Structure 1
Amino acid sequence: MRKSILIGAVATGVVGALGVGSVAYTALDKTVTLSVDGQTRTIHTFGSTVGDVLAGEKVQVASRDVVAPGTDAKLVDGARIAVKYARPLTLTIDGKQSKHWVTALSVNGAFEELGLRYSGAALSASRSAGIERAGLSLDVKTLKRLDVVHDGKTTSVDATALTVGEALKQANIKLDSDDLVSPKLTTLLANGTKVTIKRVSTVTRTLDVDLPFKKVKKDDDSLFEDQTKTERAGETGLKKQVVRITYIDGKKVKTVLVSESVVRKAIDKIVRVGTKERPEENGGGGNVGGEVDSLNWAALADCESGGNPRAVNPNGHYGLYQFSLSTWRSVGGSGNPIDNSAGEQTYRAKLLYKKAGAGQWSCGHHLFD
């Protein structure tokens, strides 16, 4: 009878012990949701803090990583733990580099995290591109407005370019190798930049250029000192020049001589200059006697030639008194009246008067003024 009771008591004790352990186990076990970079799983843990859970799951975090709630937070059943790893993001924005740490998993998410927009910008990776834990290097060329002055007009351009040259290419504005661009093509762009293009063109031309002749004087003792005679007329020469002309926006700015050659030489003009001293003359060129010398020869000369001893009339009359050459020679004159002094011309006029009277001149009546 006692044996049965003992067995029963032991059995009851064992059952009781098992019941207490089950209650304790249930009380210590917690169900936790763990999200690591968006990857979520449910786990059971006996840990008492978030750090215990991470250690148990071999999730290592660094100072820049984000853990929510913090690693020291106490665990409760049903807790949710989020871990976001920090990633290095190197941004090169319009040529200027900066480094950041982000927990976002995409480029777009990183921009939002950093408070950046860059609307219309050109990116070296798409906005939806993922960012691995090793990080990402991203080039950003922001949208800029610039004015391009060219070909007589101004073109407004929106470009996601880094340099002036890239912007012109995007705008499909063509350039020749010798065009002048200001600022230079390699200049980094800023919003509002003004670009000026000057079109440069060169042409090569062949020109005919006159070569002037020289005037050579030769002494001639057969002529009086106040006389000259053309021995040979001068002739203009000719040379060919090849020149290169540079234009900027249609305006000629420079001419460079490339080559030249003489086609025809100039021929010098030769003029004989008298050296013979003219004999002295009396009064108005010599007296012929009588009333002839007292006539008003100055009034006649003034009417006939304006008092000019070198006057030439196209109808073949010369000098103070407008002699024809035949009449001049008939009274002993030599050469052309205009090659003789005023006194000599007056002397010959007096001889003509004695020979033929005042009717030889249309102004003859002025002799009696």
Structure 2
Amino acid sequence: MMERFKTYLKKYFSDGPKIESIIVIGLTISLVVISLIIFNMIKTITISVDGSDKKVTTFGGTYKEILDNNGIKLGSKDKVKPSLDSRVKDKGKLLITRAVLIEVKVDGKKLDIKSAEHNVENMLRAEKIQLSNLDKVYPSKNYAIKKGLKVVVTRVKTKDIKEITNIGYDIVIKNDSEVESGAKKVLQEGQNGEKQTITRIIYEDGKEVSRKVISEIVKKEPVQKIVAVGTLNSDYTFSRGGNLSYAKFLQMKATAYTADYESTGKGPGHPDFGITASGTVARRNSGSYSSVAVDPRVIPLGTKLYIEGYGYAIAEDTGGAIKGNRVDLFFNSASEANNWGVQWINVYVMD
């Protein structure tokens, strides 16, 4: 077109231009230049509001000017991309995301919030609602923001409690043939051990929801209690046959005494001559129960006994020299007492 215009001018002026023609030509050239300038200034862009597109023709400027010229208003939480102060480019696209109303429950409060963020996580960050690694968010952080969405933030905290508790000891029973049947003897006292337990308590919004033991450390091992249980037969077999049932037996030092002055310090004329500490008459009866002197702290008075080599007896008397595991056997005569002498014997305490 320009080449044809140049050819026309050469031809026209070669024939001799007229003033009117020159003016017309000048105006024509000006209009062409202005049209070209205007054509180059016009830009067409797309304005997208929540996914709905609209074509807009403009002479340029910033995106803010375009919105103002087209009566498009923005809310304080609406998001725009690119920024409003960016220069308009031909065939460009302005993305507008309108903020929608959502509800957020957090820290005991219900907040009505407008947000144009992409997802829940970005919304919480934009609203400066901080989360710990343990806090729970419903729906999930990557859930898309939409109108009417309800978001719940649950604050989660933990607390560790350290406790020292006892570890009970075991009781070990051992049979002992040297201990009377049914009798028990503690060979070793038991001792409790110690255990350190760490329990983790989980709280949600200040309320306990669970607790779990996360660590157990034995600080001190328990010590077993060892008890010997007697298995010795409690039936005594006489040399002539027959059995004797007894509760326990003692190995004792046995001496002998009579009712005379040498043994008791009392003569026949003394009112207590021949009388035991129990108030009975001292007697020696080989076919029944005889009197013996004991230490009441070891064998209580009135206890029935069977004494090897002596026979049945009753603990009826005491004596100044009869202390501990000693027994003094009553005989009717000094010769019998002397014949006995001093012996270590088994004394069976009858049931």
Larger relative contact order (C-alpha < 8 A, sep ≥ 6)? Answer: 2
Q: Which has the higher strand share?
A: 2
Q: State TM-score, norm by structure 2.
A: 0.48
Which is richer in helix? 1
Output the TM-score relative to the length of structure 1. Answer: 0.46
